[in-house]
Amino acid sequence: MCLFFPGKSARSTITMQPNYPIQSKAQDILAHFDSILTASPDEIREPSSWWSESMVMLEDDPDIPLELRLYCNWRPFKERCHSDWHFFAPHHVFRLPIETGYVIAQRRSAQLMFSCQTQTWTIVERGAVVETATTFSGIAHRL
């Protein structure tokens, strides 16, 4: 079974197993966030000082997958962490229109990125791709 969202690209189509309702999938994704990410107790409501009106906000991007859309709505004004990785609050994640992806998290010498073109997650260390996955849950165990 496939769901297509009107006004969205073909990449916004969600394929589901017949016995796996979307609500269950969403609950599983949110439970995964709760199990691996620690949210900061403080909310950061001010916009980033790097942001400008020409930027594309992650939370406004119509072509992100369900998992990333849920990530944006899971404690949206809180930074998160996982081991030595710092995850930016979703409303602080943006890109220039000419860029093809978002930096979701970073640590000292690496970034966790999501590519809009390939719909993949990558860990980039010192400019070189070291890990790739098609889902956040697929890349999370490599962080």
- How far apart are alpha carbons 81 and 66 in whole angstroms? 21
Looking at the structure of the chain, the number of domains it has is 1
**Structural domain boundaries, residue 10:** 2-140
**Number of residues that this document lists for the chain:** 143
pTM above 0.85, yes or no: no
pLDDT one-digit tens code per residue, 15-70: 445 556 888 889 999 998 999 999 998 888 777 767 778 899 999 998 899 999 99
Q: What are phi and psi of 45, to 5 degrees?
A: -95, -20
Question: Residue 17's pLDDT is what?
Answer: 53
Question: Residue 138's pLDDT is what?
Answer: 92
